[in-house]
């Protein structure tokens, strides 16, 4: 049977503009193409479109494909999964689907962490990185003609495959079974990940995106990427350089270098310098301030980079110890001086509010740090943008047991921070909605019962706040208890968590130890993948 007899619609549950800027989505598209299946793409309508959502390439409905595969990077896109299924006439819940409907599959970093809120709607989750897993899974189903049930049964034996209908819903009952082991790529050079389709309409449409690393060695206790992608892997300088010079620069003058933290990337300064020498501009993602030296600062600005992002994450030294940032104020100020001296005109500073143990004084320190940065810059900086997010506890991090701060506290601290920031010339604040953070927390920390809330939000056209407010007032919704029980409750160290059935190879005892160290304001050194065996990932 020809492999092209298997048709796959790869769906991104957001608009084309957002989806085509997602490197993970593009990577999975490339994997499917190389595997030889018939693959097309679909996206959420952008508000101007109406009617049936159709594939981009042939204009078919999603219901006409053998497989509908969702690439999920963000929990807040979960409701759009339901929107797209309903639009295509596919039964929302897997229990209601017949054998002739498409097999509905999902993967991506959001569901690596906790797939349970979507478990009633997805036939099969592929947990982990797809380079090895997806071709193996395709080989298991491609000889099966037109039968969703048979394809699902053939998927069960794949390492990393999770079929929710074959597992109990209760976290404690799932803990009795052998875990689902996430898949990962050991040698990143063997898994090239870069822009495959250049879409000018996309976010970052003027860039060619190249993945430089996966994971992060610094162990910030709030950061899911630093734990779910352990051990950290960097592309070799030669491999990364070859991709940039041979594939990126011929098509775009701006090269987006993608990784959790780019200043740690081996050879980053030399690469940025060479990009500039070739007439291009390097645009790395967030830089750890203490690793920004004269060579990297000069390399960036020689390529006309005038705006740089650094991530203090918190304003006070105390809070940075709590979250294990391994970064002092003097190191942040030194980086700012270096960048300004080389011609950087704008700085974006990522920080959070609502962190565990946080006080009003810690929040004020965010503004004070911005003011000090401005005062230490020769001649001042053109703009300082404080990008502020409420803390959202993520599975598989040391702070997974901590609740999100109550909305009244978050809003009060946001007002306090804005008041302090307004006094700083040239400084602005960009705050994520506390309600959006609440919704994200529910979908991050919830169990399978949250699916009832998700479906109710879908029925309202995505208006989540009235649904959540009513569910809290009425003692829950369907089988789901009040959402506050997932969002504002501190989970007990001994309880079975909804996501415990996944084996990320990071031991729970290590996460517990890091949680306790956070409460004691004690830092942990960065990962040494050559010698350290503490967390279990190496």
The predicted-structure confidence for 389-406, as pLDDT tens digits, reads as follows 999 999 999 999 999 999
482 Cβ contact partners less than 8 Å away, ≥ 6 residues apart: 471, 472, 475, 476
pLDDT at residue 1, rounded to an integer: 31
- Whose tokens are 């037109």? That residue is 146
Mean pLDDT of 136-163: 93
Mean pLDDT of 461-485: 98
- Whose tokens are 């050559």? That residue is 530
pLDDT over threshold 70, residue 451:
yes
Task: Give the pair of three-digit tokens for residue 245.
Answer: 């010079």
Mean pLDDT of 280-303: 91
Domains of the chain: 3-181 (3.40.50.280), 198-445+507-519 (3.20.20.70)
Higher pLDDT, 340 or 280: 280
Nearest to 257, CA basis, from 231, 285, 226, 234: 285
Maximal CA-CA distance, the chain: 69
Name the least confident of 170-184, 378-392, 416-430, 517-531: 378-392
pLDDT over threshold 70, residue 492:
yes
54 DSSP β-pair partners? 61
pLDDT at residue 40, rounded to an integer: 98
Higher pLDDT, 378 or 504: 504
* CA atoms 22, 24, 27, 33: torsion sign: negative
Name the least confident of 45-54, 354-363, 409-418, 498-507: 45-54
Q: What share of the chain is helix, strand, coil (3-state, %, to 5)?
A: 40, 15, 45
pLDDT over threshold 70, residue 381:
no
pLDDT over threshold 70, residue 285:
yes
Task: Give the pair of three-digit tokens for residue 275.
Answer: 């990009």
pLDDT over threshold 90, residue 343:
no
φ and ψ at residue 239, rounded to 5 degrees:
-65, -45
pLDDT at residue 2, rounded to an integer: 37
pLDDT at residue 305, rounded to an integer: 78
φ and ψ at residue 12, rounded to 5 degrees:
-110, 120
Cα-Cα-Cα-Cα torsion 95, 97, 100, 103, nearest 10 degrees, comes to -70
> What does 471-505 look like in DSSP terms, one character per residue?
HHHTT-BTTB--THHHHSPPPPTTSPPTTTTEE-S
Report residue 63's pLDDT band, with 50, 70 and 90 as the boundaries. Answer: very high
pLDDT at residue 411, rounded to an integer: 97
Tell me the chain's radius of gyration from C-alpha atoms: 23
pLDDT digits (tens, 9 = 90+) for 166-199: 999 999 999 889 999 999 999 999 998 999 999 9
Residue-level length of the chain: 538
pLDDT digits (tens, 9 = 90+) for 241-278: 999 999 999 999 999 999 999 999 999 999 999 999 99
pLDDT at residue 345, rounded to an integer: 83
pLDDT at residue 3, rounded to an integer: 43
Name the least confident of 380-384, 413-417, 513-517: 380-384
Burial class for 531, CB neighbours closer than 10 Å (0-12, 13-18, 19+): exposed
pLDDT at residue 342, rounded to an integer: 86
Report residue 306's pLDDT band, with 50, 70 and 90 as the boundaries. Answer: confident
Q: Return mean pLDDT, the chain.
A: 94
Nearest to 369, CA basis, from 409, 325, 328, 322: 328
pLDDT at residue 304, rounded to an integer: 78
φ and ψ at residue 394, rounded to 5 degrees:
-115, 145
43 DSSP β-pair partners? 12
pLDDT over threshold 70, residue 487:
yes
The 8-class DSSP code of residue 58 comes to: T
Higher pLDDT, 48 or 62: 62
Ranges of H-type helices in 73-210: 78-88, 109-113, 130-141, 148-155, 171-174
Nearest to 126, CA basis, from 101, 149, 156, 84: 156
Nearest to 446, CA basis, from 129, 83, 110: 110
Name the least confident of 139-153, 439-453, 475-489: 139-153
pLDDT at residue 49, rounded to an integer: 60
Report residue 302's pLDDT band, with 50, 70 and 90 as the boundaries. Answer: confident
């Amino acid at each position: 049977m020809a492999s092209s007899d298997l048709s796959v619609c790869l769906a991104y549950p957001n608009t084309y503009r957002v989806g085509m800027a997602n490197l993970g989505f593009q990577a999975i598209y490339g994997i499917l193409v190389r595997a030889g299946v018939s693959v097309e793409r679909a996206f959420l309508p952008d508000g101007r479109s109406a009617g049936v959502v159709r594939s981009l390439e042939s204009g078919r409905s999603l219901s006409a494909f053998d497989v509908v595969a969702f690439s999920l990077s963000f929990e807040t896109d979960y409701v759009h999964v339901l929107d797209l299924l309903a639009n295509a006439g596919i039964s929302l819940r897997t229990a209601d689907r017949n054998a002739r409907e498409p097999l509905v599959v999902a993967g991506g970093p959001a569901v690596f962490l906790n797939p349970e809120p979507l478990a009633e709607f997805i036939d099969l989750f592929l947990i982990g990185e797809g380079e090895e897993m997806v071709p193996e899974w395709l080989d298991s189903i491609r000889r099966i003609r037109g039968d969703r049930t048979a394809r699902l049964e053939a998927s069960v034996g794949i390492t990393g495959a999770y079929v929710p209908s074959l597992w109990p819903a209760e976290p404690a009952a799932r803990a009795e079974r052998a875990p689902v082991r996430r898949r990962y790529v050991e040698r990143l050079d063997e898994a090239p990940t870069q822009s495959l389709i250049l879409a000018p309409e996309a976010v970052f449409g003027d860039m060619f995106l190249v993945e430089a690393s996966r994971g992060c060695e610094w162990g910030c206790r709030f950061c899911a990427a630093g734990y779910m992608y352990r051990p950290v892997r960097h592309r070799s300088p030669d491999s990364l350089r070859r991709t940039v010079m041979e594939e990126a620069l011929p098509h775009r003058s701006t090269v987006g270098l993608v990784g959790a933290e780019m200043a740690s990337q081996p050879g980053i300064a030399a690469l940025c310098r060479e990009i500039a020498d070739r007439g291009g501009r390097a645009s790395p993602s967030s830089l750890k301030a203490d690793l920004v030296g004269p060579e990297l600062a000069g390399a960036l600005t020689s390529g006309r980079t005038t705006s740089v992002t650094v991530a203090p994450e918190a304003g006070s030294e105390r809070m940075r110890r709590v979250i294990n940032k391994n970064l002092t104020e003097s190191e942040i100020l030194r980086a700012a001086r270096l960048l300004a001296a080389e011609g950087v005109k704008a700085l974006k500073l990522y920080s959070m509010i609502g962190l565990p143990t946080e006080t009003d004084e810690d929040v004020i320190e965010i503004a004070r740090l911005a003011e000090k940065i401005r005062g230490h810059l020769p001649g001042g900086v053109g703009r300082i943008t404080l990008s502020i997010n409420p803390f959202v506890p993520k599975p598989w991090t040391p702070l997974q047991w901590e609740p999100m701060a109550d909305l009244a506290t978050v809003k009060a601290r946001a007002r306090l921070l804005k008041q302090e920031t307004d006094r700083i010339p040239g400084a602005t604040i960009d705050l994520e909605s506390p309600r959006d953070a609440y919704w994200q927390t529910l979908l991050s920390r919830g169990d399978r019962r949250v699916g009832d809330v998700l479906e109710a939000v879908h029925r309202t056209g995505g208006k989540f706040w009235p649904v959540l407010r009513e569910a809290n007032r009425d003692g829950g919704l369907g089988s789901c208890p009040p959402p506050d029980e997932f969002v504002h409750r501190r989970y007990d160290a001994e309880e079975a968590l909804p996501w415990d059935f996944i084996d990320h190879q990071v031991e729970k005892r290590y996460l517990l130890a890091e949680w306790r160290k956070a409460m004691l304001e004690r830092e942990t050194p960065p990962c040494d993948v050559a010698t350290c065996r503490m967390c279990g990932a190496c």
